[in-house]
């Protein structure tokens, strides 16, 4: 039983230091794992200290809750496929936000009538932000898991309606802060925040998920920080804010990589714009898409000097990363220089492609970021686009009418020859036709990415 506030404060300083170090270690892949262990130690100290606080009881409930949570957490973490990582991160964000909201709800219940204004403000904020991130996470999870359509879901007057709901929640929050002390206020606030969370994420399309997930990260961090103010806990304030800073930074990075403002991503219902237009692929000047066969591609690849692989969400969906690595190794044995071009928003979350390729044992030195690889495309013999679409669309450079105009892209079209692996001619998530497919140097290899790569491996072996 610890009761000396100084001792408690010092003990809670340990996790703060550990969390900062954990993030610091993430600056290089070599030490990153060690950093996670340091963070883990910090968390254990925080939990142990809290358990030793005066007045903690209900041990059986705590133990059962911890057990259930641990089992769920471990099973989830072990079973999840690396391709499903965005869903998993969304879900963990959600439970964190949900927990923060519940803590706020309890605190409001306990100290009803005797809360200081600043405590009420943080309680209300914690409940609001926590509930929103809980709802957003669950819908984002359902979208990523394809339980509901990944396409934007819109209805007339949506933004006005959403703002109305949020306005209602804010009004309730203000009422609570103004001193009206009714339990139902916080319940209604949480309910409205949940509704707003769902409405908020419905119109956001799959390709914009990297922004949403980053934002969720920031939200849960803020919710944790607000909870810190409710409980007067520095460790919660600092840890929550570290997460908030990280999420904010990633959100801005992702939006920048798409050359769109965060507001545009969140309220633009992107992908609706041309949803009807993106069907038949035939240019006005009569150019059409040319299909090719695995055998032809195998010959091209085997006799190339330099091949750049451009992976996208399609590779993740098809779980083709291991086969891609095998193909790359075969080519390297034939003396071909193979590199991977990673667009910042390829996939469904920041760094998604890096994780998949790391899982497949691709050395991280071979993964090149956009700025690094773009100057190399003119010297590239074959660019192999595996399930990436919008991030390779040259329209972003010159077509001012295109919704993705101005977005930095991988200059795949500058390679001597481009092979695009794609399931069908359907447009990508943004619903835009990709003019890359009409370029004279481009050929299409239709089919599931995994099947195609497996066929390519066989064909390369026999060349």
Partner 1 sequence: MSGGISLVIELTILVLAIFLGFEVISKVPAMLHTPLMSGTNFIHGIVIVGAIIVLGGAGDTFLKVVGFVAMVLATANVVGGWFVTDRMLEMFKRRPEPRKESAEK
Question: Which positions are annotated as active-site residues?
Answer: 390
Q: Is 17 in the site for partner 1 (CB under 8 A)?
A: no
Q: How far is the CB of 317 from partner 1 (least distance, A)?
A: 17
Q: How far is the CB of 106 from partner 1 (least distance, A)?
A: 4
Q: Which long-range contacts (CB under 8 A, 24 or more apart) does 118-121 make?
A: 118/229, 119/229, 119/230, 120/176, 120/177, 121/177, 121/229
Q: Is 40 in the site for partner 1 (CB under 8 A)?
A: yes
Query: For residues 366-395, which are near partner 1 according to CB under 8 A?
Result: 367, 369
The stretch near partner 1 (CB under 8 A) out of 11-19, 153-161, 311-319, 408-416 is 11-19
Q: Is 244 in the site for partner 1 (CB under 8 A)?
A: yes
Q: Is 251 in the site for partner 1 (CB under 8 A)?
A: no
* C-alpha to C-alpha distance for 452 and 445, rounded to whole angstroms: 7
Q: Is 22 in the site for partner 1 (CB under 8 A)?
A: yes
Q: Is 312 in the site for partner 1 (CB under 8 A)?
A: no
Q: How many residues bind partner 1 (CB under 8 A)?
A: 118
Q: Is 103 in the site for partner 1 (CB under 8 A)?
A: yes
Query: For residues 419-448, which are near partner 1 according to CB under 8 A?
Result: none
Residues 6+ apart with CB under 8 A from 232: none
Q: Is 307 in the site for partner 1 (CB under 8 A)?
A: no
CA distances from 122 to 126, 158, 205, 238 (A): 6, 29, 32, 15
Cα four-point dihedral sign 25, 100, 192, 119: negative
Question: Could you tell me if 192 and 169 are in contact, meaning their C-beta atoms sit under 8 angstroms apart?
Answer: yes
* C-alpha to C-alpha distance for 81 and 100, rounded to whole angstroms: 27
Centre a 10 Å sphere on the Cβ of residue 394 and count the other Cβ atoms it contains. 19
Burial of residue 13 (number of CB atoms within 10 Å: 0-12, 13-18, 19+)? middle
Q: How far is the CB of 49 from partner 1 (least distance, A)?
A: 8
Q: What angle do CA 443, 449, 452 make, to 5 degrees?
A: 70
Q: Is 332 in the site for partner 1 (CB under 8 A)?
A: yes
Q: How far is the CB of 79 from partner 1 (least distance, A)?
A: 10
Q: Is 359 in the site for partner 1 (CB under 8 A)?
A: yes
Question: Could you tell me if 101 and 190 are in contact, meaning their C-beta atoms sit under 8 angstroms apart?
Answer: yes
Q: Is 217 in the site for partner 1 (CB under 8 A)?
A: yes
Interacting residue with partner 1 among 142, 177, 188, 358 (CB under 8 A): 358
* C-alpha to C-alpha distance for 338 and 383, rounded to whole angstroms: 10
Nearer to partner 1 (CB atom), residue 57 or residue 157: 57
Query: For residues 47-76, which are near partner 1 according to CB under 8 A?
Result: 47, 50-51, 53, 55-58, 61-62, 64-66, 68-70, 72-74, 76
Q: Is 454 in the site for partner 1 (CB under 8 A)?
A: no
Query: For residues 118-137, which are near partner 1 according to CB under 8 A?
Result: 118
Query: For residues 165-184, which are near partner 1 according to CB under 8 A?
Result: none
Nearer to partner 1 (CB atom), residue 173 or residue 357: 357
* C-alpha to C-alpha distance for 79 and 91, rounded to whole angstroms: 14
Q: How far is the CB of 88 from partner 1 (least distance, A)?
A: 6
* C-alpha to C-alpha distance for 68 and 348, rounded to whole angstroms: 29
Interacting residue with partner 1 among 166, 189, 194, 238 (CB under 8 A): 238
């Amino acid at each position: 039983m610890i009761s000396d506030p100084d001792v408690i404060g010092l003990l809670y300083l340990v996790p703060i230091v550990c969390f900062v170090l954990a993030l610091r270690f993430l600056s290089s892949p070599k030490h990153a794992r060690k950093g996670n262990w340091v963070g883990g130690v910090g968390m254990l100290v925080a939990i142990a200290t809290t358990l030793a606080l005066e007045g903690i009881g209900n041990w059986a409930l705590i133990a059962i809750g911890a057990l259930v949570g641990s089992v769920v957490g471990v099973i989830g973490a072990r079973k999840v496929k690396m391709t499903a990582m965005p869903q998993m991160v969304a879900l963990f964000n959600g439970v964190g936000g949900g927990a923060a909201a519940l803590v706020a709800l309890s605190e409001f219940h306990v100290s009803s009538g005797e809360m200081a204004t600043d405590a009420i403000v943080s309680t209300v904020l914690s409940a609001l932000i926590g509930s929103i991130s809980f709802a957003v996470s669950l819908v984002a999870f359902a979208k990523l898991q394809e339980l509901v359509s990944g396409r934007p879901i819109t209805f007339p007057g949506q933004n006005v309606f959403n703002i109305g709901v949020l306005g209602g929640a804010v009004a309730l929050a203000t009422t609570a802060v103004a001193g009206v002390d009714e339990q139902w206020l916080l319940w209604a606030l949480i309910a409205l925040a949940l509704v707003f969370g769902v409405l908020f994420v419905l119109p956001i399309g799959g390709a914009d998920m990297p922004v949403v997930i980053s934002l969720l990260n920031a939200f849960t961090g803020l919710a944790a920080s607000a909870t810190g103010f409710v409980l007067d806990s520095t460790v919660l304030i600092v840890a929550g804010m570290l997460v908030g800073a990280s999420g904010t930074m990633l959100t801005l990075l992702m939006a920048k990589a798409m050359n769109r403002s965060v507001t545009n991503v969140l309220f633009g219902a992107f992908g609706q714009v041309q949803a009807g237009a993106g069907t038949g692929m035939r240019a006005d000047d009569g150019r059409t898409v040319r299909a090719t066969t695995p055998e032809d591609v195998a010959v091209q690849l085997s006799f190339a000097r330099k091949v750049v692989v451009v992976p996208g969400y399609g590779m993740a969906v098809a779980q083709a990363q291991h086969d891609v690595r095998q193909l790359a190794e075969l080519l390297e044995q034939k003396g071909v220089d193979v590199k991977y071009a990673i667009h910042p928003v390829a996939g469904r979350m920041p760094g998604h492609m890096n994780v998949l390729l790391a899982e497949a044992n691709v050395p991280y030195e071979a993964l090149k970021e956009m700025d690094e690889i773009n100057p190399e495309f003119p010297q590239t013999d074959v660019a192999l686009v595996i399930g990436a679409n919008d991030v390779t669309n040259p329209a972003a450079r010159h077509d001012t009418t295109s919704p993705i105009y101005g977005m930095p892209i991988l200059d795949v079209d500058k390679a001597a020859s481009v092979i695009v692996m794609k399931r069908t001619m359907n447009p990508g998530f943004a619903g835009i036709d990709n003019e890359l497919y009409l370029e004279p140097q481009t050929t299409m290899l239709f089919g599931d990415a995994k099947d195609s790569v497996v066929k390519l491996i066989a064909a390369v072996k026999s060349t």
